[in-house]
A and B are shown apart, each in its own frame.
Chain A
Amino acid sequence: MSDVLVQSPAEKKPLIGKKERKLITDPLSDNNPVTIQVLGICSALAVTTQMKPTMVMALSVTAVIALSNLVISLMRNAIPSRIRIIVQLTVVSVLVILVDQILKAYMYDISKQLSVFVGLIITNCIVMGRLEAYAMGNKPFPSLLDGLGNGFGYGAVILTVAFVRELLGSGKVFGFKVVPDVLYQAGYVNNGLMMIPAGALFVVACYIWVQRSLAKHLEEKE
Chain B
Amino acid sequence: MSPISTSGTIVFALVVTTLSAALLAVAATILKPAQDENVLKEKQQNILSLVGLNDPNDFKKFDQLVQGLVIDQDGQLVQGVDAISLDLPMEKKLSTKNPQYKVRYPMYVYRDPSGRTTYLLQAAGTGLWGPIWGYLALDEDGNTLRSAIFDHKGETPGLGAEINTDAFEQQFINKKLLNQQGDFVSVKVEKGKHDASMPHAVDAISGGTITSNGVSKMLEQDLACYLKYIRQQSTQSPQS
Q: A80-B4, A87-B13, A115-B154 are in contact. Are A108 and B42 (CB under 8 A)?
A: yes
Chain B residues positioned under 8 Å from A105 (CB to CB): 31, 34-35, 38
Stretch at the interface among B20-28, B66-74, B91-99, B109-117: B20-28
Chain B residues positioned under 8 Å from A196 (CB to CB): 157-158
Chain A residues positioned under 8 Å from B16 (CB to CB): 87, 90-91
The answer to whether A83 has its CB under 8 Å from any CB of chain B is yes
Q: How far is the CB of B31 from chain A (nearest CB, A)?
A: 4
Q: Chain A at the B interface: mostly helix, strand, loop or mixed?
A: helix
The answer to whether B179 has its CB under 8 Å from any CB of chain A is no
A102 and B31 within 8 A (CB):
yes
The answer to whether A104 has its CB under 8 Å from any CB of chain B is yes
Interface size, chain B (Cβ < 8 Å):
24
The answer to whether B101 has its CB under 8 Å from any CB of chain A is no
B12-56: CB near A (< 8 Å → 1, else 0) gives: 110011001001100110010011001101100000000000000
A104 and B35 within 8 A (CB):
yes
Inter-chain CA distance A108–B31, complex, in Å, is 12
Query: Interface residue tally of chain A, by bracket?
Result: 20 to 34
CB-based nearest B residue for A78: B12
Q: How far is the CB of B26 from chain A (nearest CB, A)?
A: 10
Q: How far is the CB of B86 from chain A (nearest CB, A)?
A: 21
Q: How far is the CB of B210 from chain A (nearest CB, A)?
A: 20
The answer to whether B221 has its CB under 8 Å from any CB of chain A is no
Q: How far is the CB of B113 from chain A (nearest CB, A)?
A: 30
Task: Determine which of B3, B17, B38, B157 lies in contact with A108 in the assembled complex, contact meaning CB atoms within 8 Å.
Answer: B38
